[in-house]
Each structure stands twice: as structure tokens, then as C-alpha cells.
Amino acid sequence: EAGIDGTTMPPGDYTSSELTGLVAYLRTMGDFDLSDVVLGDAGRGETIYGGTGDCASCHRIGRDGSRVAPDLTDIGAVRSAGSLAETLVNPTSAMLPLNRTVRVTTANGDRFTGRRLNEDTYTVQIIDEDERLRSLVKDDLREYTILTTSSMPSYADTLTEQERADVLAFLLTLKGMN
């Protein structure tokens, strides 16, 4: 986290969950044969993202879209083309541990499912399926389960190969807001 002197690697201040996500990403970088990745038209992909794909009902880019699933504002800078292509057809296989959904039941029986935003020894903060921020004390939970399957649907059958290539091209243009 101090960077490497004499190189372009800057210092970073990462939480434990961010470091876990980075390590998981680095470990999977070589798992995809990029020669199999076909890129389409980013403009058409953006249209599919907002239309047929209905991606914005869960994901967010900049200020637009939902907060239920991971923010895609800089996805083209942090995920490889192969990883994103795999995510479109088999979301669970390409899911980073950091993005796993959690299911909780409180001591009084309230149930929430959502994306974990932060967690420490005593508390967990999630954004639930209704985009409500929930801060929960772990000692007050009857159940706390980290789900290992993605809630994202597969687009293997709902989008054609060309449409997936177009969406992939669009996602790779997302390098963060300037």
C-alpha cells in the first residue's frame, strides 16, 4: 500500500474487503482466453444496456440506475474483457467475493437480502432490494448468510451473441467519470 518507488504504481489505502476483491481479480485475470472475446458496437450496446438487457434496473452508471447491484461506472477499467464476457453468460462463475449478496434475519424476524457495502467485526451495512441502506448489528441477527450464487440473470439465452458483444463493447468504455 506504499506503492513501488520508481514506478507508476501509486500508494493506496485499501480496506480488507477491497484487498480481498483486488486479490480475487488478480487471481482470475489469466483465466480467460481473450482470443474468444468478440467485441461489438458500443453504441448498440448502450442501447441494449438501457433497453432489452434492463441492466439499469439493478446497476448504476454515474448518477443513473439502481444501487442494488455493483456500480458499473468504472467497470471497463477494473474488469477484463474476458471476465465481463463470462459474467454476461455465467454471472456466478465470474462473481467477485466482494459482490456477493447477503441474506439476514434479525432477532425480531425481519428479513433483508441485499448487497454488502461494508462489514466489520460488529456490524454489516447492506443496500437492500428496495435500495434502502441497512446498518445491522451482528449480535442482533438470527441469520447472516453470504450467498454464493449471483442474483444477476444469465444473458446466454435472452441476448444473441452479437447483442452480448455489443454490451461488452459498451461496458469496456466505462472507465469512470471525468
- pLDDT value at position 10? 75
pLDDT one-digit tens code per residue, 65-88: 999 999 999 999 888 898 899 999
Q: What is the 3-state secondary structure (H, E, C) of 117-157?
A: EEECCCEEEEEECCCCEEEEEHHHEEEEEECCCCCCCCCCC
Q: State yes or no: pLDDT of 152 exceeds 80.
A: yes
What pLDDT, in 10s, does the model give residues 27-67?
A: 665 555 555 788 999 999 999 999 999 999 999 999 999 99
Nearest CA among 104, 131, 100, 93 for reference residue 116: 100
User: Does the pLDDT at position 129 exceed 90?
Assistant: yes
Query: How confident is residue 136, by pLDDT bands cut at 50, 70 and 90?
Result: very high
User: Is a pLDDT exceeding 80 seen at residue 125?
Assistant: yes
What pLDDT score does 27 carry?
A: 65
To the question of pTM greater than 0.95 for the whole model, the response is no
Q: What is the pLDDT of residue 166?
A: 97
Q: Which of the four pLDDT bands, split at 50, 70 and 90, describes residue 154?
A: very high
